[in-house]
A and B are shown apart, each in its own frame.
Chain A
Amino acid sequence: MSVVDPVVQARSLRFGWGGEPVVADFSLSVAPGRVCVLLGPSGCGKTTVLRLLAGLLRPEAGAVTVRGPIGMAFQDPRLLPWMTVRENIGFALEAAGVPRADWSGRIEPLLARVGLGHAGDQRPDSLSGGMAQRASLARALALAPACLLMDEPFGALDPMLRERLQGDLQGALGETAAVLVTHDMAEALVLGDEVLVLGAGCTIRARVSVGAPRPRGEAWRLSEAFLALARELRGALAQ
């Protein structure tokens, strides 16, 4: 537990669709500027936990506390095809009741931050996969969220693009707390400060701390410490 007050805290969450619980007893706590990664095999309930944290699902038991606004990046970019990139980001501001006069001052820096300064007027169907994912990230960051929830946001991209966006994301987070769902061990070790290895029912099999300084790039991926942690994660996943 961090000495700083956590931004997002989940206590003893339980959720199911009838029958065996998808999430049996899950707790988590993330401090400002920290990234917690949920790593586990497909179907173990990672995405369900994320939806519980976002308030999109109501837990059967337990509680979620989030201090400040939440941003969410889905597995697919989920850009609304009838809006331009700028309008998609504007939709997040409109939903939060931000006055229209303030939009430009918030959208333009965000577009520049994710490298889409030139693409604000483009519609989603004219964007590449990487551009669409960055636009989605910009929308998730539009309200300067205290907590960013990400559900395998780079899962459908090619490895080179994924690495580049992982680098962009490290720069974009700042003091935002983040919870990242992935089944990619390398991604977990590049982005995460803490990796929770999950098993069936979202039971926590292992808790791995990643102390490497940011930004973490090629040198970190090739380091002995990275390989040692990867072995530790693999061991926990194989249990």
Chain B
Amino acid sequence: MSRLPTLIVAAAALAVWAAGAAWADSPVLPSPLAVAHAALEQLRDGALLVDAAASLKRVLVGYTLAAVAGLSLGALTALAGRWGRGLRDVLEVLRPIPPIAWVPLAILWFKLGDGSAWFIVFIGAFFPIYVQVAWALSACPERWLELSRSLGASPWLTLRRVRLPAAAPQVAAGLRVGLGLAWISVIAAELVGAQSGLGYRIQMHRLMLETEGVIVGMLSIGALGFGMGAIARELERRLVPWAPPS
């Protein structure tokens, strides 16, 4: 029953789409039925799954690298005093550059293919993770630090038992946001710099004017991103049960 509004809104969106397609009567706006038919065909011949797996692998590799770097450098920024602030200032200059602007350099450095896609995913996912970790570790509530001092806890014990758990909800949120941006970045990378993956598939269908194929690729990205986001939220709920619900 709680899902009823979602179902009603989805049905309404499909109805508007179907009405728009019927009114336009053009290959650039296929009906939902035509898209469903194309999706089934692509699933049957296996091509969609192969490309989805290629994108998924790129996301996982680039995201893992970004998570390791974001967690380490974020912690360094928060805990290394003046050196940490120096690192933050340098990274703050790079942060506003969108992942897509890195594509030309990525292709020059890593050629077309996995290397450049991993790099773009890394750039996309790294900054939200880094920023959240650095902020969360440096903004531990004073009341908990004071409690730790009143108990005579050493700085190392305070880091392990107070600062890190206190930062965990924000860190988990950064990891979740980073995952979403990893998906956005991989498609950007594949649109121009890869020869497999969902982004590449969308581009190929566009060149062949197969709008149904373009929409199938887009909806696949949405479904995979949604699924991974749901997994991330569930992990967050289990591993950081004291975090406010996201």
Across the interface, which residues of A come within 8 angstroms of B241, CB to CB? 123
Nearest to A124 among chain B residues (CB) is B242
Nearest to B148 among chain A residues (CB) is A95
Nearest to A136 among chain B residues (CB) is B147
Q: Is A17 an interface position by the 8 A CB rule?
A: no
Q: Is B37 an interface position by the 8 A CB rule?
A: no
B153 contacts A81, CB within 8 Å?
no
B150 contacts A82, CB within 8 Å?
no
A82 contacts B242, CB within 8 Å?
yes
| Contact digits for B5-48, partner A, Cβ 8 Å, 1 yes 0 no | 00000000000000000000000000000000000000000000
**Which chain B residues (198-228) contact chain A, with CB distance < 8 Å?**
none
B151 contacts A80, CB within 8 Å?
no
Across the interface, which residues of B come within 8 angstroms of A54, CB to CB? 150
The interface on chain B, measured as residues whose beta carbon lies within 8 A of the other chain's beta carbons, has a size of 19
Q: Is B168 an interface position by the 8 A CB rule?
A: yes
A95 contacts B152, CB within 8 Å?
yes
Q: Is A206 an interface position by the 8 A CB rule?
A: no
Q: Is B143 an interface position by the 8 A CB rule?
A: yes
A56 contacts B151, CB within 8 Å?
no
| Contact digits for B138-171, partner A, Cβ 8 Å, 1 yes 0 no | 0000011011111111100100011001101000
A96 contacts B151, CB within 8 Å?
yes
Q: Is A164 an interface position by the 8 A CB rule?
A: no
Q: In the complex the two chains form, what is the Cα distance from A96 to B205 in whole Å?
A: 66
Contacts A81-B242, A82-B165, A82-B168: A92 and B151 contacting too (C-beta < 8 A)? yes
B161 contacts A78, CB within 8 Å?
no
Across the interface, which residues of B come within 8 angstroms of A220, CB to CB? none
Q: Is A25 an interface position by the 8 A CB rule?
A: no
Q: Is A91 an interface position by the 8 A CB rule?
A: yes
| Contact digits for A87-118, partner B, Cβ 8 Å, 1 yes 0 no | 00001101110000000000000000000000
Across the interface, which residues of A come within 8 angstroms of B149, CB to CB? 56
Nearest to A90 among chain B residues (CB) is B161
A123 contacts B161, CB within 8 Å?
no
Q: In the complex the two chains form, what is the Cα distance from A46 to B166 in whole Å?
A: 29
Q: In the complex the two chains form, what is the Cα distance from A123 to B243 in whole Å?
A: 13
Across the interface, which residues of A come within 8 angstroms of B148, CB to CB? 95
Contacts A91-B161, A95-B157, A125-B242: A78 and B143 contacting too (C-beta < 8 A)? yes
The interface on chain A, measured as residues whose beta carbon lies within 8 A of the other chain's beta carbons, has a size of 17
Q: Is A168 an interface position by the 8 A CB rule?
A: no
Contacting residue for A56 out of B150, B161, B168, CB 8 A: B150
Q: Is A74 an interface position by the 8 A CB rule?
A: yes
Nearest to B152 among chain A residues (CB) is A95
| Closest CB in chain A relative to B162 CB, distance in Å | 7
| Closest CB in chain B relative to A72 CB, distance in Å | 4
**Which chain A residues (36-50) contact chain B, with CB distance < 8 Å?**
none
Q: Is A76 an interface position by the 8 A CB rule?
A: yes
Q: In the complex the two chains form, what is the Cα distance from A80 to B154 in whole Å?
A: 17
Q: In the complex the two chains form, what is the Cα distance from A72 to B157 in whole Å?
A: 18
Most chain B beta-carbon contacts within 10 A, residue among A78, A81, A95, A125? A95
Q: In the complex the two chains form, what is the Cα distance from A81 to B166 in whole Å?
A: 9
Q: In the complex the two chains form, what is the Cα distance from A56 to B154 in whole Å?
A: 14
Across the interface, which residues of B come within 8 angstroms of A70, CB to CB? 150
Nearest to B144 among chain A residues (CB) is A80
Across the interface, which residues of B come within 8 angstroms of A82, CB to CB? 165-166, 168, 242
B147 contacts A74, CB within 8 Å?
yes
| Contact digits for B230-243, partner A, Cβ 8 Å, 1 yes 0 no | 00000000000110
Nearest to A82 among chain B residues (CB) is B165
| Closest CB in chain B relative to A162 CB, distance in Å | 22
Q: In the complex the two chains form, what is the Cα distance from A80 to B144 in whole Å?
A: 7
Across the interface, which residues of B come within 8 angstroms of A94, CB to CB? 153, 157, 161
B151 contacts A78, CB within 8 Å?
no
A95 contacts B153, CB within 8 Å?
yes
Q: In the complex the two chains form, what is the Cα distance from A78 to B147 in whole Å?
A: 7
| Closest CB in chain B relative to A76 CB, distance in Å | 7
Can you report 25 residue pairs joining A to B where beta carbons are below 8 Å apart? A54-B150, A56-B146, A70-B150, A72-B151, A78-B143, A78-B144, A80-B144, A80-B162, A80-B165, A81-B242, A82-B165, A82-B166, A82-B242, A91-B151, A91-B153, A91-B161, A94-B157, A94-B161, A95-B153, A95-B154, A95-B157, A96-B151, A96-B152, A123-B241, A123-B242
Residues of A near any B CB (own CB < 8 A): 54, 56, 70, 72, 74, 76, 78, 80-82, 91-92, 94-96, 123, 125
The 3 closest A-B pairs by CB, nearest first: A95-B153, A95-B151, A82-B165
